Amino acid sequence: MSESFDFDKYWIGKLAKGISKEVGDEIVNEVLEDSENISQKSSRYDVFEWSDKAIRKLESLTNDEETKKILLSCACHQSQEALQPYRDLYVETENIDLVIQEMQEDFKVFIKDELKLEEKYVQKIIDRKMGFAGRRDGNKIIATKIPKSDFIKEWFEETNPNKKRALFCHCPRIRDALVDKEKILPKSYCYCGGGYYKNIWETILQKPVDIEIIETVIHGDEVCKYVIHLPDLNENS
């Protein structure tokens, strides 16, 4: 990624597009007030404070479903190329369990070979059912994120709950501010993280799925956990 890439500006741009698409341009400027002062160079405290203010404005100007859709649209995504084998497997088999199994096997390879984790950490991740594949429970999938990949070892060993939350969080915009136990964002902010799973399963199934937040570190939980509610499907399982 280019050194000139500014993730904060990029994310604010996605937020603006999501607001415009979902509820029109009228409230974009109101929600994004003072966003011109926020960039990758800003202190994480300032980014956190601006984000808190912006999301609370968004919640006050839109209903719950609109807020959710807007923030889901701000997510980072897996590439279509990376997801295509799982899409192909589902088309061939119409069996979500086989897809999840394949995703989990690929995930194990990733954390062993790409992240170079020691076996004890690999096993801890597997035992806690973390990873992008999730686990199926009837017509839903429970997905628990892994800690931010750069900090997995530190997360497992950290005992301070606030530092542990910061080590876990995948969002570079607000991660460092989580060390301050007094700071929380509206829970809806984490629909951004949920959009990652929405993209995965809508790409595989080619049907809409609904996302529910169960746990999030910005509200004091130890991990971030989501439910992916699946559409009705005819399966060979």
Residue 234's pLDDT is what? Answer: 65
Exposed/middle/buried for residue 107 (C-beta within 10 Å: 0-12, 13-18, 19+): middle
pLDDT digits (tens, 9 = 90+) for 121-136: 999 999 999 999 999 9
Which residue do the tokens 């979500």 mark?
A: 96
**pLDDT for residue 236:** 54
Q: Taking Cα atoms as reference points, which of 27, 1, 32, 2 lies closest to residue 14?
A: 32
Instruction: Identify the pLDDT of residue 1.
Output: 45
Query: For the segment 126-184, what is each residue's pLDDT rounded down to a tens digit?
Result: 999 999 999 999 999 999 999 999 999 999 999 999 999 999 999 999 988 888 877 78
Quote the CA–CA distance of 142 and 189 in Å, as a whole number.
Answer: 19
What SS3 state is found at 143?
strand
Strand ranges, E, within 80-234: 135-137, 140-144, 210-215, 225-229
Helix (H, G, I), strand (E, B) or coil at 42: coil
Sheet with 135-137: list strands edge to edge: 135-137, 140-144, 225-229, 210-215
For the chain, percent helix, then strand, then coil, each to nearest 5? Answer: 60, 10, 30
Q: Extract the residue ranges of the chain whose pLDDT is less than 70.
A: 1-3, 234-237
**pTM attached to this predicted model:** 0.92
Locate the domains of the chain by residue range: 7-72, 80-229
* pLDDT number for residue 4: 76
Q: Give the other-Cβ count within 10 Å of 84's Cβ.
A: 12
State the amino acid at position 117 in one-letter form: L
